[in-house]
Amino acid sequence: MKLHELTIAEARQLLLDKKISSVELTRAFLDRIDAFDDRIGAYITVDEGPALEQARQADDAISKGEASVLTGIPLALKDLLCTKGVKTTCGSEILDNFVPLYDGTAVAKLKAGGAILLGKTNLDEFGMGSSTENSSYKVTTNPWNPNHVPGGSSGGSAAAVSAQFCCGSLGTDTGGSIRQPASHCGVVGLKPTYGRVSRFGLVSYASSLDQIGPITRDVTDAALLLNVIVGNDPMDSTSAREAVPDFTRALAQFDREGLKGMTAGIPKEYLSQEGLDPEVRQVFDSARNVFEDLGVEMKEISLPHTDYVVAAYYIIAPCEASSNLARFDGVKYGYRDFSSDDLIRMYKQTKSKGFGPEVQRRIIIGTYSLSAGYYDAYYGRASKVRTLIMKDFATAFQGCDFILSPVAPAPAFKIGENSDDPLTMYLSDIFTLSANMAGIPGMSVPAGFSSQGLPIGVQLMGKRFDEFSVLKAGYGLEQTVVLLEKKFPIL
């Protein structure tokens, strides 16, 4: 097997057995990025020198018998995560020159686990988008077909894993940005329960919805990375104190006892959505059959407020964004427009030139919805709808262990196809937004391909803090279905 095809688990074993070195492995990814990333555009920053230096140190540690859980494993991080000494742009011109003085908690945990940081991946500006076309730097293409988007906003991270430019990566998910690009790129993406992973050092988009999570080649690697990044953090007051299991035990549990005794909920409102592509439906049905064959009981459930999810999310997320992004004013961070001679004009010019059109649209929607006189009608009402969505899930989970659904209504669309149509773009988030609104975990697992050869995933959602069941069921699906399919795009 080629070095760049290795999963985290496989690479780790070979490193520990001293069959390969971390320098070789890191070099293999750097060479591949060098050869192909001008076509894919997965990375904004490649940190070659420091990555090789970290790899040398990792080899040293391994030879002394001091390896930690990720020692020597090269990873990529979405460029929304603060990395000490490494530029963190958030895909925005306004942070073009921002070099953080600290690592975010998840990043620090990966480093403490011995991981190598290859670089920072492309994204929709501040995480706002579903296609990675809203980056100020470049458009990322789908490794399976360069005319199609990789999904977004963590499109760079998903494309980097799929194109084998890293062993695994972290993305962030506010309304689907880990799961949807993972589905479009044929890799695994896990959004943990809200609060499971500290948000400290994650540049905020919508603080009550944002979560960091793994994007990996398989479910085993998702469990491995999740194990490293979870846990309570005094630096994030919303981070949970919940006990943390060893998530890799979920996989062992599948190997031992299968999925018999589990019940999957099938939300009827999801499958009756008009606009659900027949090929997505087909892949969904085949995944459902796999679960049935594995002895999982299927149960139709209802999530009655599904029709209001998109509208409520696209009020709440912009409201929080308009507040979070107020700090980027040309004074405290990043880009400043020097052409204005008074303060107000400087603010206006800085924001007009520093933020792209989608971010400006969200700031305007958010500011409007929060303004006196409109707050109750928009933000207040959207928050009430959010409570109803949470209740829908609480009721549904009384009768099932996980919910099975499509990830996106259609396979990856063509680059440019929806860029002038924000509403269509927003509507394509219908199946992923509710997990963030309800704070529950959700994972996208590759489950098939469209007739055009584009990957299609299915989503498994779990009860709050029950990533364990999601991983166990997702692993069961992966063992049964994905191994029969082609695994890598040809670059």
Query: To the nearest whole angstrom, how small is the minimum distance from the Cβ of residue 225 to ligand GLN?
Result: 18
Tell the smallest beta-carbon distance from residue 183 to ligand GLN (Å): 13
109 is catalytic: no
- In a 3-state reduction of DSSP, which class is residue 350? helix
CB of 143 to ligand GLN, least distance (A): 20
Identity at 217, one-letter amino acid code: R
Q: Interior CA angle at 199 toward 412 and 314, to 5°? A: 50
Task: Select 264 or 370, whichever has its Cβ closest to ligand GLN.
Answer: 370
Q: Which is nearer to ligand GLN, 92 or 177 (CB)?
A: 177
**DSSP β-bridge partners for residue 43:** 121
Tell me the C-alpha distance between 445 and 187, whole Å: 7
**Strands 263-267 and 402-406, sheet pairing:** parallel
Q: Which of 128, 228, 396, 437 binds ligand GLN (CB under 6 A)?
A: 128
Site residues for ligand GLN, 314-343, by CB under 6 A, read 317
DSSP per-residue string spanning 5-65: G--HHHHHHHHHTTSS-HHHHHHHHHHHHHHHHHHH--EEEE-HHHHHHHHHHHHHHHHTT
Q: Report, in Å, the least distance between residue 376 CB and ligand GLN.
A: 23
Residue 375 beta carbon to ligand GLN: minimum distance, rounded to whole angstroms? 21
Residue 78 bears catalytic tag: yes
Q: Are 47 and 93 in contact (CB under 8 A)?
A: no
**Cβ of residue 207: shortest distance to ligand GLN, in angstroms?**
12
Q: Which is nearer to ligand GLN, 176 or 441 (CB)?
A: 176
User: Among 74, 91, 100, 129, which residue sits at the site for ligand GLN (rule: CB under 6 A)?
Assistant: 129
C-alpha separations of 335 from 105, 210, 341, 467 in Å: 26, 25, 16, 40
SS3 of 60-115: HHHHCCCCCCCCCCEEEEECCECECCECCCCCCHHHCCCCCCCCCHHHHHHHHCCC
According to CB under 6 A, which residues from 158 to 177 bind ligand GLN?
Answer: 173-177
* Residue 125 vs 478, nearer CB to ligand GLN: 125
Question: For ligand GLN, what does the binding mask look like between residues 198 and 227, x meaning CB under 6 A?
Answer: -------x----------------------
413-432 residues near ligand GLN, rule: CB under 6 A:
429
Candidate list 21, 22, 78, 405, residue with the active-site label: 78
Q: Among 415, 420, 409, 405, which Cα is nearest to 458's?
A: 405
CB of 386 to ligand GLN, least distance (A): 15
> Residue 136 catalytic?
no
Burial string for 453-472 (b: 16+ CB within 10 Å, else e) reads: ebbbbbbbbbbbbbbbbbbb
Instruction: Give yes or no for a contact between 175 and 312, defined as CB atoms under 8 angstroms apart.
Output: no
Residue 134's closest CA among 161, 157, 154?
A: 154
Which is catalytic among the residues 21, 92, 162, 177? Answer: 177
Which region, judged by CB under 6 A, interacts with ligand GLN, from 128-136, 298-306, 401-409, 473-481?
Answer: 128-136
Among candidate residues 21, 153, 169, 428, the one labeled active-site is 153
What element of type H or E holds 169?
A: strand 168-173
Note whether 130 binds ligand GLN by CB under 6 A: yes
Closer residue to ligand GLN in complex, CB, 26/418: 418
Measure the CA–CA gap between 142 and 163, rounded to whole angstroms: 9
Q: With CB under 6 A as the rule, give the number of residues binding ligand GLN.
A: 13
Based on the shown chain and the rule CB under 6 A, indicate whether residue 441 belongs to the binding site for ligand GLN.
Answer: no
Does position 306 bind ligand GLN by CB under 6 A?
no
Give the residue numbers annotated as catalytic, written as ranges. Answer: 78, 153, 177
Interface with ligand GLN (CB under 6 A): 127-130, 153, 173-177, 205, 317, 429
